[in-house]
Structure 1
Amino acid sequence: MSRVDSVDLTSGRDLRDELVQLMHRYGMASQQLGAYFAQKHGLHPTDLQALIAVFQAERAGDPLTPGRLGEAVGLSSGAATAAIDRLERGGHLRRTRESPDRRVVHLRYGEPGMAVAVGFFGPLGVRSHAVMDRFSRPELTAIRRFLLAMTEVLTDHHEEMKRV
């Protein structure tokens, strides 16, 4: 029996507490892996956050502009520009002009940076898919709903705290 299967489901409160603890552990493990990737490839942790934001936006078909990247990562205009410059010099990002308005710049993942990311994170993707294969479609759908709702709660709380 794996660690995943050994959860005591007898108490709803215990399960909720354990879920919160597991999310914290997952978040910490994710941050540590990201920090290691950044350090190994000479990136600032903020640069890694920027790369993730660019990748997710591009994957969703809505590439970021420098201004939207700053908003997504919580950077001033100057700090976002400095991060973009560093990432572009390293081959991780490229600026493109795809809009009829030539002043609009979109950020795209650079091929050299993508190769580095795939080499590092590709094996994790294989392992992650193997874990997900152990769950049914309805279970994954419930997990998705849960994670979306928890992410919304965190985001809303963060926004509220910034206004205080």
Structure 2
Amino acid sequence: MGNLGPEMEVVHLLRAVTVELGLHSARFAHRNGMHPTDVRALIALMDASRAGTEMTVGRLGAALGLNSAGTTALIDRMERAGQVRRVRGAGDRRRVLVEVTETAVELGWASFGPLITAAVELLRVYDERELAAVKGFLAGVLEAATHGK
């Protein structure tokens, strides 16, 4: 392949990172007897928790592209494994929320923690403008990928 411009070099690096992260996630799922969708569910639940957003059964299913029966089967399986729990909404006891358990968080941290720590350490050398550029680029790629669904 000929001389790539710096933009294409970044795009190819991003692709390589994406592939490696996917493989890392697949190994995590396999080691822990999980389906790849279970891993996506844990990520969605942890993201919601970090954002202070309640995750209903319906919202989780929509985020994962699952129908009602598929979402119920997923939650049942993950609940049996001790990874999630169903709880009643504080404001509306009829609402069923899904939360990730501390056990699942610890399991995830044991596998992904070293990678997360390494990424944070790499970012510490960047100044505010550089961090804003990295965040802007990644947010833009995420937006482009999301629109491509």
Under a length normalisation based on structure 1, what TM-score does the superposition of the two structures give? Answer: 0.84
* 1:138-157 paired onto structure 2 within 5 Å: 138-157=129-148
Match of 2:100 among 94, 109, 128: 109
Q: CA RMSD in A?
A: 1.5
Q: Which runs of 5+ in 2 are unaligned?
A: none
Q: Distance between the aligned counterparts of 1:111 and 1:26, measured in 2?
A: 28
Match of 2:51 in 1: 60
Match of 1:4 in 2: none
**1:122 and 2:113 equivalent?**
yes
Under a length normalisation based on structure 2, what TM-score does the superposition of the two structures give? Answer: 0.92
Percent sequence identity over matched residues? 37
**1:26 and 2:17 equivalent?**
yes
Whether the 8 Å CA contact 1:91–1:111 is kept in 2: the answer is: no
Whether the 8 Å CA contact 1:95–1:105 is kept in 2: the answer is: yes
**1:51 and 2:24 equivalent?**
no
Match of 1:80 in 2: 71
Deviation at 1:65, TM superposition (A): 0.8
Q: Secondary structure at the match of 1:36?
A: helix
Deviations 1:30-72 (A, max 9, x none): 1100000000011001111111111111111112111111111
Q: Which runs of 5+ in 1 are unaligned?
A: 1-10, 159-164
Match of 2:6 in 1: 15
Deviation at 1:101, TM superposition (A): 2.2
Q: Secondary structure at the match of 2:86?
A: strand
Q: Secondary structure at the match of 2:99?
A: strand
Aligned length: 147
Match of 1:5 in 2: none
**Which runs of 4 or more aligned residues in structure 1 lie more than 6 Å from their structure 2 counterparts after TM superposition?**
none
Q: Secondary structure at the match of 2:125?
A: coil
Deviation at 1:88, TM superposition (A): 1.0
Whether the 8 Å CA contact 1:90–1:113 is kept in 2: the answer is: no
Match of 1:69 among 51, 57, 60: 60
Q: Distance between the aligned counterparts of 1:74 and 1:27, measured in 2?
A: 21
Match of 2:85 in 1: 94
Q: Distance between the aligned counterparts of 1:89 and 1:63, measured in 2?
A: 21
Deviation at 1:100, TM superposition (A): 2.8
Q: Distance between the aligned counterparts of 1:18 and 1:74, measured in 2?
A: 32
Partner AA of 1:80 in structure 2: T
